A and B are shown apart, each in its own frame.
Chain A
């Protein structure tokens, strides 16, 4: 009976941990199967342990090319979306202007629309303009859908900034440019960084919009999609696992540095 009571008391914790397990399970499968040596073309059933794929991660034609293309697109899309989005966020928080409502909805709508609708409509535009589908159309699309997320992230930070800090800078004879570079930008930096990170992740992992607008250009998600039809090489799991491990390590190191700094500041 006491077991039942213990379960009842910790019901929320148990349910939460089960959800966590549900979320982590596929990552574990991806990791384990990166050491698999499948028999056929598909890497869905366990055969035997092997390090083959890890020793030769680029051993599949076009795989690493698609990966580097995805990284390039994500880099430029992040840069573009962060620059444009930060400017919009500052304008929204700091200035008064006409048509604010319309502009707010224009920024909100891309986030409230199924991706496939944006993808399809953008493709009709490109087809009508006779644009050649490829790197540039994908980049344009990625900047478009990352923009709103950057605006939201930066806006939250700029809204919480204390305007008196900038007034103080101006009182101390800093010019508008100097005030912006030395005071405003450093305070807004965490918001901008968060927006940029989000944009990078969204762009790098995007499939639906890319699938419509890439033509014959193959990004990493499109390579994975294609391989789901033709045969999944183990190398996909290797790259997925490596990305996972690198990202988690970066987060942990960042946490460590942050807590170190905090304890230093306290001393």
Chain B
């Protein structure tokens, strides 16, 4: 075996027109893409796809830690898990959905600002958007405990403006505290996933030709109409990928719920985590995790179909 027989480094070969090649490309050359794909794809199959199969099988097992688990096709686990933990599921979807909408509402003006208004400050603002990433997100989430602390500035201001009276009437906060309430969790989720909304929004806004705005203005469109009829539709790819990048991780998150919330704000991620790592009830945990996956994938597929942007991959 000569040295050249080793899988060659990817030669940059554009496909030659068939007519000119006298013989078929050698087998070795035809195998090049497979050699390139093999290690990475194998990794994903063994450590991403196969685990999902294991999890599916675990979810229909019965048994105990001492005696071992056995596949008994016990689908009742799913029914029981849903019956017991449906509040956490609904809460997860509700919190993640609210956080996604808030991210869109908060993130759009900032992305717009960077794309069209920042001028020579553009790079600086972009750095400021990405900069928080450089401090561990757990530390930053803990900082919200300080910001929203009882008797702190934020709570005082909200109290003076009687905002907390309204929000506590709606059940979002308690009458004199924000920490350990749904609002704190949603606030943390929104904060943590904002950059994932802003960056795709910015990318798609930046591609818009500024002359389109001028044209709309020339055709007597008010700024609001220009936004509604020109800017927003053109930024749809960013809106779709931004909402997905926010909603998917937020729906499975348990860090914000655990650090900023209380037992009444637990999300489904917390339940999966404690079933797996503390209660050690593997079938229930696997079933919960599977239901969450199914819900998210269904919602994502439906959403991508509806918005007609399938070239996200």
Q: Which residues does A use to contact B, with CB under 8 Å?
A: 12-13, 15-20, 22-27, 29-30, 33, 44-45, 84-85, 87-88, 90-91, 94-97, 103-110, 112-118, 120-125, 127-128, 140-141, 143-144, 147-148, 151, 163, 166-167, 176-177, 179-181, 183-184, 201, 204-205, 207-208, 211-212, 220-221, 224-225, 228, 232, 236-237, 240-241, 243-244, 246-248, 251-252, 255
Q: In the docked arrangement, what's the CA distance between A29 and B141, Å?
A: 11
Q: Which residues of A contact B106 (CB under 8 A)?
A: 15, 18-19, 22
Interface pairs A-B: 8 shortest CB-CB: A114-B252, A16-B113, A176-B11, A95-B33, A247-B134, A84-B40, A15-B109, A121-B51
Q: Which residues of B contact A240 (CB under 8 A)?
A: 135-136, 139-140
Q: Which residues of B contact A201 (CB under 8 A)?
A: 133
Q: In the docked arrangement, what's the CA distance between A226 and B135, Å?
A: 17
Given contacts A87-B36, A117-B289, contact A236 B139 (CB under 8 A): yes
The contact size tier of chain B is: 35 or more
Q: Is the Cβ of A207 less than 8 Å from the Cβ of B117? A: no
Q: In the docked arrangement, what's the CA distance between A122 and B58, Å?
A: 12
A181 to chain B, nearest CB (A): 8
Q: Is the Cβ of B47 less than 8 Å from the Cβ of A116? A: no
Q: In the docked arrangement, what's the CA distance between A15 and B106, Å?
A: 7
B113 to chain A, nearest CB (A): 3
A interface, over-half SS? helix
Given contacts A87-B40, A120-B55, A177-B9, contact A30 B143 (CB under 8 A): yes
Q: Which residues of B contact A243 (CB under 8 A)?
A: 134-136
> B34 touches which one: A16, A97, A105, A211 (CB < 8 A)?
A97
- B166 lies within 8 A of chain A by Cβ: no
Q: Which residues of A contact B123 (CB under 8 A)?
A: 255
Q: Is the Cβ of B9 less than 8 Å from the Cβ of A30? A: no
> B140 touches which one: A26, A128, A180 (CB < 8 A)?
A26
> A120 touches which one: B141, B249, B272 (CB < 8 A)?
B272
Given contacts A44-B149, A124-B55, contact A106 B44 (CB under 8 A): yes
Binds A, one of B74-82, B157-165, B213-221, B293-301: B293-301
Q: Which residues of B contact A122 (CB under 8 A)?
A: 47-48, 51
Q: Is the Cβ of B252 less than 8 Å from the Cβ of A117? A: yes
Within 8 A of A (CB), among B28-75: 32-34, 36-37, 39-41, 43-45, 47-52, 54-55, 58
Q: Is the Cβ of A27 less than 8 Å from the Cβ of B132? A: yes
